[in-house]
Amino acid sequence: MRAKAAPINTEGHREPRECTYTMGGHVFPAPSAAAGLHLVATPIGNLGDITLRALETLAGVDTIACEDTRITRRLTERYGIAAALIPYHEHNAATARPKILERLAQGAAIALVSDAGTPLISDPGFKLVREACAAGHAVTALPGASSVLTALSVAALPTDRFFFEGFLPAREGARRARLSELARIEATLVLFESGNRVQGTLADLAGIMGAREGAICRELTKLHEEVIRGSLAALAGRAESLETRGEFVLVIGPPAADAQAITDDALDDLLRDQLKAHSVKDAVAHAVALSGRPRREVYARALALAKESRDGED
pLDDT for 18 equals 81
Mean pLDDT of the chain: 89
Instruction: Read off the pTM.
Output: 0.78
* Domain 20-145 annotated CATH 3.40.605.10: no
Name 195's Cβ contacts closer than 8 Å, sequence gap at least 6.
244, 245, 246, 248
Summarize pLDDT for 122-176 with one digit per residue, the tens: 777 999 999 999 999 999 999 999 999 999 999 999 999 999 999 999 998 899 8
Q: Which CATH class is domain 148-252?
A: alpha beta
Q: What is the average per-residue pLDDT within 193-217?
A: 91
What does the alpha-carbon distance between residue 202 and residue 246 come to, in Å, rounded to a whole number?
16
> Given a cut of 90, is residue 210 above it in pLDDT?
no
Cα angle value 217/174/115 (rounded, 5°): 40
pLDDT for 295 equals 79
Please give the single-letter amino acid code of residue 76.
T
